[in-house]
Structure 1
Amino acid sequence: MTTETILTNARLVLEDRIVSGSLVFKDGLISEIAEGKSANGVDMDGDYIIPGLVELHTDHLESHYSPRPGVRWNAISAIQSHDAQIASSGITTVFDCLRLGSDADDGFVVGEMRAIADALAEARSENRLRADHLIHLRCEVSAADVLEHFADFQTDGQVRLASLMDHAPGQRQFQTMEQYTLYYKTKRGLSDEAFAHFVTRRQDSSARYSDKHRRFLAGACAERGITIASHDDATLDHVEEAAGFGVKLAEFPTSIEAAQASHKAGMSVLMGAPNVVRGGSHSGNIAATDLARAGVLDVLSSDYIPFSLIHAPFVLADEIEHLDLPAAIRLVTATPAKTVGLDDRGSLSSGKRADLVRVRRESGVPVVRSVWRQGERVA
């Protein structure tokens, strides 16, 4: 016989309201939501129960695999370290970003990202992972070798999302040289001469490759049913181009106009949860809270701080009058799941996966107390 689990005396965060009651799950699925206490349940002591978080964009695995410039860590060890931090942050579904496209000064060589994807598959087959890991390919369309990198993933079913990016100076995220200089020259300690050479090479590469690579990759992803994301859209022309490619996710738009147009066109607008927690963008672009106030923020991503994904919704619910906690939690659960076609998770409702997080939050930073993935306790 299948054993069912009852969580009771909980504040259940549904998509549109909070219910004080009980949740029942068995066989990895939610079977019942009920108001009131159950005499047979595990007492949640009034804590919140929310759906497991769905993370669409995190570079965090890369920082474990390459913790220092030129250093490469054992892939399985890096994955397990990353996975533990992901799960303990309440994330039960994670799209691990793998960076495709490099030049002489940056990125990974052809084959490295393929090896990480193979290690992910191996870790999954050996039951090493707490969260459900899928792959997000971050495709640098201005790189000469991005299609060679992409060819490594022609038949990989782990790939469910791909973003089309151009980080050349004057493009999208870096429309001003002031931002670009800070991000590349200052942080890398380049001389004026070396930086000028770096900028020229990047601009020439963008002019030569970006358009044709963007078109090829958008077509290839559409054929395979891979959700396509735009990245750092800044203008209405960028948004119109993205809509033409069938983009479903607009990552980190850099202007309010681009965010509004993307939202109006039916794309899910994604911003960084660290942006919310810090109160602004680290690169000087628009604040996620401004988009939330304008009603055009749809998805949050932890980007580089996994725990920010559970922290940011509470900040938004505190600070924005028209955004209650259920609406804020949708930004990290139901909406990202729907955007990438994962209709089996993302909400507390009968028949959905029992991906659950127990959260205590009296004030300030929330505490993740327990995490279940498909009914199995993983943290």
Structure 2
Amino acid sequence: MIINNVKLVLEDEVVHGSVDVRDGMIRAFAQTQSGLPEAMDGEGGWLLPGLIELHTDNLDKFFTPRPKVDWPAHSAMSSHDALMVSSGITTVLDAVAIGDVRDGGDRLENLEKMINAVEETQKRGLNRAEHRLHLRCELPHHTTLPLFEKLVDREPVTLVSLMDHSPGQRQFANIEKYREYYQGKYQLTDEQMARFEEEQLQLAARWSQPNRETIAAHCRARGISLASHDDATRDHVAESHQIGSVIAEFPTTFEAAEASQQHGMSVLMGAPNIVRGGSHSGNVAAHQLASLGLLDILSSDYYPASLLDAAFRVADAHDNAFTLPQAIRLVTKNPAQALNLHDRGVIGEGKRADLVLAHRKSEHIHIDHVWRQGKRVY
């Protein structure tokens, strides 16, 4: 397959040319047009590496499309997969939560079903994108470590993040924000909320630190990439670095983002934060970190189509120094490197032919086609 007449977004530059794909790999690319009649005309669009998504809980929405509605696993996985590739995502880490903040949550009930669906559909070659697993470990919970030890050796597990959503910690350093969030989420009375808060404090005091240390040790022993989550202070970052974290997911302050980079951790922020112009929970805005050079990876989080949109918005912004190749690296090369996936994330000879063809139509970036390992999947 030859894709002709495209703007190739390489690691450090954009060139007008063509790319030659054979046996699922990029055989060559050139700053010239191919004269072969069978070459596909890219009509001057951008040809990008396939996007790499490290943190999405989008799968939850398909397994439980409404409260108390359980959807058949194969159908849920297929619909989720189709949305990923239509968003230009060719490698996706499906995030599953281990240890619910509240017993009986849908995520806990769906855990085994979702993990089996990811593993089985991937093995059977049913997915358009390549699906892996991201285990999100809620530390202040008694079920977290036993579940983690049961799942950590499953083949698709590629990333583990350590979360603590107890009152007074990280994202919820502000107790009023904590109460507002969980009282609204679970429709709790003031009395019920007070009991819930006390329970979570007791759980955190008993389980957070031992779970953090044990899970991190398992990841180091297995070579699994580890991420912190919602670090807010330099002390949080120092602790995350000390136990081996290589990714800082959603630091909530400028201070934490800066310290993360200083410790060699890749700063990951939400693409919806870029698209919306700020954090929905009032934390530091991703575009502010981009303007200061403190942004390394973007994640679509809860909205898959935001990933490519956000990368182009970063490139278009006047308050930072990101070129288009640098902005595209936020959703391709940088996440690949954080996971030690060196076979993808760039357009280069011998790399996987995971590719996205896109055009700008008015202010919107429109995805025309997506290939994974040379096979067109969208």
TM-score with structure 1 setting the length: 0.96
What's the CA shift for 1:185? 1.0
Aligned length: 375
2:336 aligned partner: 337
- Gaps of at least 5 residues in structure 2 are none
- Aligned partner of residue 151 in structure 2, secondary structure: coil
Q: 1:17 aligns with which of 9, 13, 37?
A: 13
Larger deviation, residues 149-158 vs 165-174: 149-158
Q: Deviations over 1:125-163 (max 9, x none)?
A: 332200000000000011111012112214212101000
CA contact (8 A) 1:64 1:78 kept: yes
2:257 aligned with 1:241: no
Q: Deviations over 1:184-242 (max 9, x none)?
A: 11243221111111111111111111000000000011111110000000011111111
What is the alpha-carbon distance in structure 2 between the residues aligned to residue 104 and residue 352 of structure 1?
44
Q: Deviations over 1:288-312 (max 9, x none)?
A: 0011011010000000000000100
2:183/2:193 contact within 8 Å kept:
yes
Tell me the alpha carbon deviations over residues 238-297 of structure 1, each in whole angstroms, 9 at most, x when there is no partner. Answer: 111111111110000001011001011111100000000000001110000011011010
Query: What SS does the aligned partner of 1:361 have?
Result: strand
Aligned pairs (5 A) from 1:157-176: 157-176=155-174
Please give the alpha-carbon distance, in whole angstroms, between the structure 1 residues aligned to 2:274 and 2:108. 35
**RMSD of aligned Cα (Å):** 1.4
1:190 aligns with 2:188: yes
Number of the residue aligned with 2:126: 128
For 1:247, give the aligned amino acid: S
- The answer for unaligned runs of 5 or more in structure 1 is none
More moved, 105-114 vs 289-298: 105-114
Instruction: For 1:305-344, list aligned pairs within 5 A.
Output: 305-320=303-318, 321-344=320-343
Contact 1:179 1:284 in 2 (8 A): no
SS at match of 1:152: helix
Structure 1 CA distance for aligned equivalents of residues 253 and 123 of structure 2 = 42
CA contact (8 A) 1:271 1:301 kept: yes
What SS is found at the alignment partner of 2:162? strand
Residue in structure 2 matching 1:70, options 68, 79, 91 = 68
In 1, Cα distance between the equivalents of 2:69 and 2:149?
25
Q: Distance in 2 between matches of 1:122 and 1:36?
A: 42
1:292-338, Cα deviation, whole Å (9 max, x unpaired): 01101000000000000010011111114411111100000000000
What letter is aligned with 1:335?
Answer: N
Partner of 1:55: 53
Task: Give matches, 1:131-146, under 5 Å.
Answer: 131-146=129-144
2:364 matched residue in structure 1: 365
Distance 1:24 1:76 in 2: 35
Q: Which of residues 154, 157, 169 is equivalent to 1:156?
A: 154
In structure 1, which of residues 132, 136, 147 is the aligned counterpart of residue 145 of structure 2?
147
Indicate which of 92, 95, 103 corresponds to 1:94. 92
